[in-house]
Amino acid sequence: MKNLKLKAARAAKDLSQQELADLCDVTRQTISAIEKGDYNPTIKLCLSICYALDKTLDELFWTEKE
């Protein structure tokens, strides 16, 4: 499932995938994979992304139970 909230938050901060990747100390491809829903990050990386985008875990990664 695509993570559109992450993509929107990144765009709102005017950051490219590469810039966000550099802030989180991962590769651009990892950020791309998270946004596409191809990779489920660990809680450590989730927090790192949240800190970089000034968002909470809920705001970026929470999804309602289907």
Partner 1 sequence: MKNILTPSILCAIIIILIILIRKKTPSDYDERQLIVRNIASRNAFLMMLLMNIVVAIDLFMNEQHLPLAPALLMASAFIGLTYFGVYTILKDAYKTKETNYTNYLPINLIAAGANIFAFFFAGPSDSIYDLVCSVRIINLYCAITFTIFIVVFLYKLVQEKNDEKS
Q: Which is nearer to partner 1, 11 or 65 (CB)?
A: 11
Distance CA 53, CA 47 (A): 10
Near partner 1 by CB under 8 A, which window of 6-14, 31-39, 49-57, 58-66? Answer: 31-39
Interface residue with partner 1 among 29, 37, 51, 57 (CB under 8 A) is: 29
- Site size for partner 1, by CB under 8 A? 13
Residue 32 burial class via C-beta count within 10 angstroms: exposed 0-12, middle 13-18, buried 19 and up: middle
3 binds partner 1 (CB under 8 A): no
Q: What's the one-letter identity of residue 46?
A: C
